[in-house]
Amino acid sequence: MVGSPHDAATAPTVADASPGVAVTPADVATAPLHGSGPGSGTTVYGAHRYALGALLGRGGMGEVRVARDERVGRDVAIKTLISGEGTPRMEAVGRFLREARVQGRLDHPAVVPVHDLGFDDRGVPYFAMKKLAGTTLAEILARHRAGDRDALARWPRRALLARLAELSLAVEFAHTRGVVHRDLKPHNVMLGDFGEVYVLDWGIAKIGDDEPTSGAGIQRTDLDTLDSVVGETAAGSVLGTPGYMAPEQARGGVIDHRVDVYALGCILFEILTLESMLPRGVAALAAAEDAVAGRPAQRRPDRDVPPELDDACAHATAPSAAERMASAAAVHAAIQRYLDGDRDLARRRELAAELAAAAAVHLEHGRREDAMREAGRALALDPNHGDAATLIGRLLLEPPAETPIEVTAAIDHTRIETGKRYLRAGTVAYLAYVLLLPGLLWVGVKDWTMPLVVGAMALFNAGFTFAMSRRDRLAGAWIYLALASDGAMVVLSSVFFSPLMTTPGLATASALTFLGSPTRKAAAPIIACTTTAMMLPLLLEWTGVLPRTFWIDDGGLHIRSWVIGSDPVGTLVLLIGANLALLLTAAQMANHLRRAQDEADRRTQLTAWHLRQLVP
């Protein structure tokens, strides 16, 4: 598409009823014209500078044709005033020339440059400008609404936002030159084939104080004509396009550059939602007066509108000019901030995809550690990356065939710390056993040899278990020595109250203590040793090696001790104390075991909870 195609397909625009700038003979004389003026007899086209071609577009005030500038040797676009029959009215000529001069004084890449201005031999003004190649934003949005895949691929939403940011700077440039466009809309924005963006149709622009600061307003008699001008720009009742006019512009109030800010917000709304913020035609005028700030996310929640752009749109389309964004540059800054962040997001997503692909390769080759690391980095970059989340879930749910060295080391560390607590409990148990020996003085002792030997063994085992609780590793020979000493103590203790009373409890406590020790020895030797320590006294008594301490007859079970005395009260107290000590020792061991299990369960559940937050 070339020239100014917006004149062929545009939303309804009506111009101010005021005549604009009157054109005097002096204006014509001083205008940079190619011909000599109206009625001069000189025909511009006949002078062979411009060879006219096809019609590019027609609007309410002018038409645009492609032409060949024979003098320079380039293609241009020629816009001429539509005058009907005869010489055009002076006010129409003045408005047309004013548009050319406004466009020509804005030396900006986004404003189509004017090359020439003049009259043809009928006295109809024309101006030559750069021929454009591109598509209007209105056409692109229409193709987006229709689901055109080519348009969606060539002009994704991010690209349209980038062009709107450039457009905002061009409008800001015009504002710094005292020019307010007053008719910004998608039809008046062209996107070039090579990344250019152009603001078209400066015909009703306001230049400083060269005309009243307020429009003529909308008369009730004008409403019937608004719907009849849909599709073209025409001279008529108000300045602007219903559907893109700010409330103060629709009411005919005092206007300034903020009406362009409002229109930019409307265009932003349309890019984000593919819907116009306000209705068209007559309904747009009433809607503009009663408008509220545009919220694209509320209108189209399915469009995934970024919250920062939703806020920017609402700020730019605030009904009150005082509450609106202060400038078109502020619109540019808001969009650019989002684009800069979005560009970073796009790069993170790209990196996440690369890492997820690398993680899949690592897993395929059995490198689970590398796979987990790369997948975790992918999720850190893009928490919504489905492939990375699936891969991590698979790694967590499918245990490896071999336990990693790090996991084995962690298990060993936990086992050793738990074993240390058991050993400290065993130390307390051995010391408690020693403290029971003074109780023998109460009941009397027939022979102190055995109690002293057993006490010495208890002290030895207490010191040994305490020493083991301070170390992470222990030589195998020492553990066997400790087992032997403990087993001997259990066997010799049977002479106090027979193998059927305290001996099983002592053997059980001994087994718990050694099974919880921080060694790498198997459980079988410990169980075998403690079982032997419990059964050996029975065997020795049955074989006559040790004196009998119990017998069973018709009178029941009889127990006697050949080591301690026979004071009934003292013996009963000593037995109760010994059994309580065994009970407390076993309870302490079990409590340590339960606490260790509870802590392990808590950590497991916490880990699982954290993983569920990471990979839902």
Active site residues: 183
The string over 22-47, giving b where at least 16 C-beta atoms fall within 10 Å of a residue's C-beta and e elsewhere, is ebeeeebeebebbbebbeeebebbee
Geometric angle at alpha carbon 100, from 98 and 102, rounded to 5°: 65
Residue in 34, 37, 201, 202 with CA at minimum distance from that of residue 116: 34
Enter the DSSP assignment of 131: P
Geometric angle at alpha carbon 262, from 256 and 263, rounded to 5°: 105
Look-up of token digits 């020339």:
97
Look at the alpha carbons of 253, 62, 109, 242 in this order and tell me if their dihedral is positive or negative: positive
Single-letter amino acid, residue 127: F
Reading the block at residue 54, the tokens are: 């096809």
Listed in sequence order, the residues at least 6 apart from 159 whose beta carbon sits closer than 8 Å to its beta carbon are none
Residue in 83, 110, 113 with CA at minimum distance from that of residue 96: 83
The string over 151-171, giving b where at least 16 C-beta atoms fall within 10 Å of a residue's C-beta and e elsewhere, is beeebebeebbbbbbbbbbbb
The Cα–Cα gap between 449 and 437 comes to 12
C-alpha torsion 242→246→249→255, nearest 10: -150
Phi, psi of 371 (to 5 degrees): -65, -45
Listed in sequence order, the residues at least 6 apart from 511 whose beta carbon sits closer than 8 Å to its beta carbon are 526, 527, 530
